[in-house]
Amino acid sequence: MTSLHADEAFLGHYQFSHDPFAPRVPGFKFFPAQRKPVLGQLPHLARYSQLLLLVTGPLGSGKTLLRQALVASTNKDAVLSVVISARTAADETSLLRQVAQGLSINQASLEAILTKVAQLAITGQDVYLMVDDAEQLQDSALEVLLLLASGTNEGRLHVFLFGEPSLLPRLEVFSEGEERFHAIELQPYSEEETRDYLAQRLEGAGQGIELISNALLVDIHEQSEGWPGAINQVARDALIEAMLANRGA
């Protein structure tokens, strides 16, 4: 059975309107458990501190979805959001070039960027610089981001890094004992939150949580350790296994 046929069989067997466990699904609603407080904290910390903000968690912990929710929740008149990925901007030069592009300026230098940010501040507009896959940043790029976050008296960027926990000790080295960044570590879901997360995913695809028995829920939670990316994978594998067993019976 080809992958496409397997997917069609999976959707048909459970009468799903789409794969409920795909990373991106139609009409997906941001799941608030353990993440909504962080979403509220980030703009508050950005406004009232001059610290670089780091959101950490392992692969599949929901960092990118949180970043997307942060962009969606900002007032577009008051905040200019610049989103880049360290996959394509790992070094200082690439980083500055992409930030300059996001600000629609030609000169890709620290000074030119901070000058533009100061000009925007006069008009009442803040700049949110969000970096996905931030663990891939080189040291030189991290140093530049810390400088952009501290800024000048006239203006500074609100810098948000979304990356794996390996970033923490690296930033601590650059901070040299000073308070230059604030880290928020994403937490895994509890068993009850795992159930609610699965319910939201299944209901979005036209089914309900009754597809997942209590015993299977416990198994999914234990195997995934409560991380949403792993919950999706383990739940999908379990339902496919149940479908194949049912067909073979």
Q: What is the DSSP string of 184-231?
A: EE--PPPHHHHHHHHHHHHHHTT--GGGS-HHHHHHHHHHHTT-HHHH
Question: Do 42 and 156 belong to one domain?
Answer: yes
Could you identify the residue written with the tokens 């896959």? 133
Overall domain count for the chain: 2
| Percent of the chain scoring above 90 in pLDDT | 72
Its pTM stands at 0.88
Cα-to-chain-centroid distance, residue 78: 22
Question: Do 75 and 26 belong to one domain?
Answer: no
Backbone angles phi, psi at 129, to 5 degrees: -105, 115
Domain span at residue 209? 3-30+189-248
Are the C-beta atoms of residues 85 and 132 closer than 8 Å to each other? Answer: yes
User: Which among 134, 167, 185 is the end of a domain?
Assistant: 185
Question: Do 68 and 180 belong to one domain?
Answer: yes
Residues 62-99 have pLDDT tens digits of 898 899 999 998 998 999 999 999 999 999 999 999 99
Helix (H, G, I), strand (E, B) or coil at 142: helix
Is the pLDDT at 2 greater than 50? The verdict is no
